Structure 1
């Protein structure tokens, strides 16, 4: 009986309407996989979106090197500027194409920051033909002096932060990064992951040839979010001295305040740590790690510490920080406003520091008023509050509620 009341042409008409909508969305550079997806759009009330590469351009740029209490080197975003009709280029931090860090006009901490940016880095050069067939987070054209290869055919591929650090070393510091890596070969690494929020590498430092392991130095470099790695530091480098000073609670608080200050302006902050040991000490550390792993599972010591591939977990020296800027896409603020006018709430899902996330959210019109901030923003939970009749979106890191926005 019900079937008789349904017009015969209704299914075809609905399909035709959805197809027209799909074509309109395609013109707006939206790829629709199925017509059922378009039909579901009418029910959307919350959009959870990634930040890097979606709300922002995923084109990070190093804006400053920071170390000690007062040490800093501000880097212009544009390397060239027009002045009196001529193009003037910012002078490099150190000498041209020198793989060693022997410049005498920069501090020891700054040298270690630049060396860490070279070694603790997985960005790599790749031909544009190969890059078209690969899925990389960030890529950027890299100049080359090879006459057989055009500059447009070589690109940097890798994480956006690694690409930014590579460009800092290559463009502003005039470092031959490939030569630096050859002279300081990598012997171990722990890749970055969203849980640890840091990356560790171990490299043999460049030195005169010797057969004594006690005279060979291994440099362990850790790069990650300051709020995650500061607890692993037992010392720090001062502004303009080579010696290391004990890490204090006051200095930790200073670093955290500095990170929050930069975050409120939309900057992402990366800390650089290092630890030096002899080759013999490193080999003993790795041997102990392999021995513990070879034991039966029931005999292995249970620890909350993540598996670091035998690399040191603590006693690092805090070297300094990098501030990075990833600008928002120009079309995003207007798109967010259109979604909000359609009574659709936008949730930004990111692992960045909460102050950085909040600054970007305000820039793209996700936050229109002051939002309470407690910690990080890793997960999103949406639930109904029957007492007030509202649905609440909770952004949480671990068990701490950090950003909360109620909507009808």
Structure 2
């Protein structure tokens, strides 16, 4: 340890909960130290560190920042584009073509042109893929980081505002309501201090903090520590930094996230398999043709060039670029739906999702406490409006104004009106903010009320008492206002406010209050009681003050679900997607929200806590996840979430994980696709995810699933389009080989012109087809389903055969009409040049009609509209015009060895195109009149029936389930759980 650091300061970052030295020579974890011992253990004092000491520690420990994620350099990422198997095959083909050019005597400049053309294709694909990935990544990096930029620190006894990165262990920081905590700290002074730990633990309730030593095993479980990334919601205090940067709890989760491997998407795996098979097939057929040409006495180089044309014909050169741009179109469509995709392949991964593991707070809910019900004098009053905007009304407001006035006086929070881009927000405890909003809805001016009744004393909230009291001076004398857990408050009341005045709180009246509390809590509301008593002077002790109270009523509130979530959940169920809630919150709170949004409709869902997960081995966990029932996992840690995701993936599920907190980050990265919240999410969560919801809405996930499914179906469409013409390119080459024709009917450079010049734009237009109406009424595709399924292969083989017949017909018709023996044909012969021109044009024209045919799987293209995709028509016309330019432009004729075509030639080619479209329409007609296989029917039925059942249950039974299924015992338990915060 450097000599300039305080000798008593422990070397190295102390881990949360690690033992640190006491003045007497013993050691203990930081949470078990007394406040005065904390200063000594960390070499600081109540005046904070000196500037020199802080500078030395900053140099030793480094800035208080999380390490930047490890990223490959731009050149390495660009170079990675050339590792695609299609790119490797083309690079090898280009190298062999260069070799063929070098070995030929005389050398054929056409081979040199071909070699450069193939390299150009590889480079073009790489540039397109890199630009699309880099663009998505750069867009994601514009999101704001969560960790605060400044904090208030004591240095040399002076209070300074410094960048959060300047904090070091031993610094004394000042905490006030609304502050974001910048490092892990041990509280040494607390005045009604409470903190929202949701970003770290997932628990939405504010938790009180104390300065006294505790016996907790870890700092994270201790009530005298605060952590980086959390927020102070009420009170004030001071704390000593004991861990900064990577040593914080945020840093621990970051390391856990960084260690999680990047999962390949289903499409990545499918494309890799397809590439291997196509490459192997191309090499095998090329080698066979090479051997066959040698057997017929062809020169070695000539036979090799012929075989190379076969290989190039089989490799879909335009596929990588088409795939990248098609996915990019999906990215842009998702961005318009408030979903930012950082990695192109994540678009399709979401579309194949079978399970969504969702967080609760901020994802399903608005993360804004809202009063929805009031109870006073035996009557219930509903409150409309959600969030912190004081827009709404209180039913029968006259009967609850006294209740809301007392509740508003007994608060430390402040309601902040909209400014700049921010809406209404609460500075302080969100529960207290909800009371202020309800009071405003009832017509009370809370600021004027507090000014008319200034506070003269208070007893801050205590988790043991579960109460908070404030004393006020009013025009009628002193008034004590108390709010807190109904059961604790009721035990201190002997009177109740009624319409006719205050009455004795008799047994029946007390039972009525308890029943109202149970009813409200049973619906998932957090319930607070409010009481008052006149005082002449502020009592010395809380126990003395909080006695002989007059009960006013109950305030019920909740973090409301987002209004659009219920419909989104129903859409997911219709689509056959299972939703599992993973939350750090209390089981009863989680179940109540799950019922409200329709995730839970069963009377008895399976609810499992983190402690139960710890006791489960792999087989037990697999059995739990194998069940088809509704599942809620509560009080879970980051490790639990990641373990559940891994177990689901091991079962063959495609898992999407949603979350906003740092505690969600490991699971977000481990999932097939991680979905983070953009507005309220932490930077750790956003960094770990592949998709960011800019509006934080679960409904955006549903829209993204629909688009993802559409992307996959569109990929299947343009695969059928691309591979059918690959067969049409291969067929005349093989036919010429077997017929003994000495020259190739289609040169490799012509093939490249077709693949890139005439096919890419129509394929992109197919990739931009909108989702079909029944997209979300089908179950997810099986993980075992191959991209190259038997159905897809049958379709492109059928289309390819029809095209091949036309292409071979026009080639050999032109060759025979020349009246020249096969052996006498040369590459410069006009008849040969026209024959290969006809071959190329036949493929281009038939592909135009092919693009119209593949737009639908079963439905007639005339039903959806032959010209309803204008981009596709324009792309096809461009390809035909390009072919005409190759046929008629002299310098392009020299490059491609082509000849001009007559009008009659184009008419014949168009006739073959109409024949192709007609054949496909006949096939679709036959498919439509043939009953679907039982498996497919069952699958669709399952998907639809699940949706209908879920939709009906959600629409008609959620209220009953939420109100009745939980029962009175749930209400009491929820009441006990919610009493932790006033």
TM range, smaller chain: 0.5 to 0.7
Instruction: Decide whether aligned partners of structure 1 residues 135 and 48 sit closer, same or farther in structure 2, where only a CA change above 3 A counts.
Output: farther
Matched residue, 1:136: 425
Q: By how many angstroms is 1:72 displaced?
A: 1.8
Offset, 1:358? 3.6
Larger RCO, structures 1/2 (Cα 8 Å, 6+ apart)? 1
Q: Spell out the pairing of 1:38-187 with structure 2 (5 A cutoff).
A: 45-51=355-361, 54-55=364-365, 58=368, 60-67=370-377, 71-75=378-382, 77=384, 93-94=397-398, 112-122=402-412, 124-129=414-419, 132-133=421-422, 136=425, 162-172=432-442, 174-186=443-455, 187=457
Q: Name the residue aligned to 1:86.
A: none
Q: Which runs of 5+ in 1 are unaligned?
A: 79-88, 95-105, 138-156, 209-215, 286-309, 399-406
**For residues 20 and 125 of structure 1, what CA distance do their matches in structure 2 show?**
42
| C-alpha distance after superposition, 1:255-293 (max 9, x if no partner) | 4543342345565533224566554523xx4xxxxxxxx
The answer to whether the aligner puts 1:345 opposite 2:603 as a matched pair is: no
Give the Å deviation of 1:386.
Answer: 1.4
Of 334, 354, 360 in structure 1, the residue corresponding to residue 567 of structure 2 is 334
Q: Is this contact kept in 1: 2:405–2:444, CA < 8 A?
A: no
CA distance in structure 1 between the partners assigned to 2:346 and 2:465 by the alignment: 34
1:1-400 to structure 2, matched below 5 A, reads 6-8=85-87, 12=129, 13=320, 19-32=328-341, 45-51=355-361, 54-55=364-365, 58=368, 60-67=370-377, 71-75=378-382, 77=384, 93-94=397-398, 112-122=402-412, 124-129=414-419, 132-133=421-422, 136=425, 162-172=432-442, 174-186=443-455, 187-188=457-458, 190=460, 200-207=468-475, 217=478, 219-224=480-485, 226=486, 230=488, 233-238=491-496, 240=498, 241-242=501-502, 245=505, 255-265=513-523, 267-274=525-532, 279=537, 281-282=539-540, 285=541, 315=547, 317=549, 318-324=551-557, 328-340=561-573, 341-347=575-581, 349=583, 354=588, 357-371=590-604, 386-387=619-620, 389-392=622-625, 395-396=633-634
Q: How many residues align?
A: 309
CA positional deviation for 1:367? 0.7
TM-score, normalization: structure 2?
Answer: 0.26
TM-superposed CA distance for 1:181, in Å, is 0.3
1:347 Cα shift?
Answer: 1.0
When normalised by structure 1's length, the TM-score is: 0.54
**Aligned 8 A contact 1:267 1:324 in 2:** yes
Name the CA shift for 1:20/1:196 in 2 (closer, same or farther; >3 Å).
farther
The structure that is strand-richer by fraction is: 1
Larger Rg: 2
Q: Which runs of 5+ in 2 are unaligned?
A: 1-81, 88-121, 130-319, 386-392, 626-630, 637-647, 652-982
Say which SS state the counterpart of residue 359 (structure 2) adopts.
Answer: strand
CA distance in 2 between counterparts of 1:165 and 1:189 reads 19
Q: Distance in 1 between matches of 2:621 and 2:611?
A: 23
Measure the CA separation in 1 of the matches of 2:483 and 2:425.
Answer: 23
Q: Which has the higher helix share?
A: 2
Q: Secondary structure at the match of 2:484?
A: strand
